[in-house]
Amino acid sequence: MEGLRYEAPETLQAAVALLAAESGPTRILAGGTDVIVQMETDLIEPQLLVDIKKIPEVRQIVAENGGFRVGAAATGMEIMQHAALCKAWPGVLDGVKLIGSIQVRGRASMGGNLCNGSPAADSVPALITAGAVARIIGKSGVHEVPVEQIPVGPGKTSLAKDEIIVSFFLPPRPARSGDAYQRFTPRTEMDIAVVGVGVNLTLDANGNCTAARVALGAVAPTVLLVKAAADALIGTRIDEAALDKLAAAASAACRPIDDKRGTKEYRIKVAGVLARRTAQQALERARQN
Ligand SMILES: Cc1cc2nc3c(=O)[nH]c(=O)nc-3n(C[C@H](O)[C@H](O)[C@H](O)COP(=O)(O)OP(=O)(O)OC[C@H]3O[C@@H](n4cnc5c(N)ncnc54)[C@H](O)[C@@H]3O)c2cc1C
């Protein structure tokens, strides 16, 4: 870590300028629960760490246009303590609550979870099924990008070196909407998902599904938004036949690896089972709204 420079700017503009001016490897430091571990194990050797936690815009959680704007560096615990956000988006909360331990969630952020680029990142499937849009600032200005366009491979994002995710916008909820995220892990605590599934759906007054999004984690190089799985639910009452189609579509979309947590075949099977269970939970929540 020789020559490592640490900066903690108080504005977004200053943070962008620091990142743009550094010619060597850089990292943004939000909670540091990935970055510090990776530095300690020599996986990365940044020349510059830009700590963004002193920048107000990346820490706030505010209601906006009927939805919520969640700062990219708001911690898991801050998100969990925001009652209105948790009520509107219980599936997003499911994902955040699964990140590490209480201590880890005291620091870990959704921006870091997304930009670390793990296909197994627990908050990402539910953010994608929510239709969350990331606000990004860089030297060329501010722009907005759907969350699913940010991860491009394990450890890789579509962000330029000088770009920072400022916040995520979670849109307003139509009536009778529900979302859920479930993961399967060999252990109950502090483990990495073998498969993670996010489902977000909306029902009409007769109980028919009018909109759905389904995302799968840990079964491909990036989290997958699976249109065929959503299409299996839309226009149905989410009965057994629709759930069978959903499970088949989820399994068919998987492109997993073999590793110590499970074989390809195992992950493909679990993805179908978990998609069904997660859709049933999202359905129960939608019926309560
Ligand atoms: C013990 C332990 C258990 C864990 N368990 C889980 C788990 O169960 N599930 C899970 O998903 N993860 C888990 N993690 C991983 C980690 O906690 C999460 O990925 C966390 O959300 C990372 O957030 P952070 O704020 O700490 O990110 P940081 O470590 O600060 O940053 C991570 C990466 O994102 C980039 N970055 C951060 N913020 C931004 C931004 N606003 N804009 C652009 N780039 C940014 C950084 O440059 C860096 O590359 C665990 C980690 C530990 C140490």
Ligand 1: distance of its center to the CA of 37 in Å? 10
Give the residue, out of 6, 12, 26, 34, with the most ligand 1 atoms within 8 A of its beta carbon, to mutate for a pocket test: 34
pLDDT at 2: 65
Residues 6 or more apart whose Cβ sits within 8 Å of residue 84: 63, 68
Report the predicted TM-score, pTM, of the whole model to 2 decimal places.
0.97
The tens digit of pLDDT for each residue in 237-249 reads 999 999 999 999 9
Q: Is the Cβ atom of 126 under 6 angstroms away from ligand 1?
A: no
Ligand 1: distance of its center to the CA of 230 in Å? 28
Q: Is the Cβ atom of 113 under 6 angstroms away from ligand 1?
A: yes
The tens digit of pLDDT for each residue in 152-189 reads 999 999 999 999 999 999 999 999 999 999 999 987 77
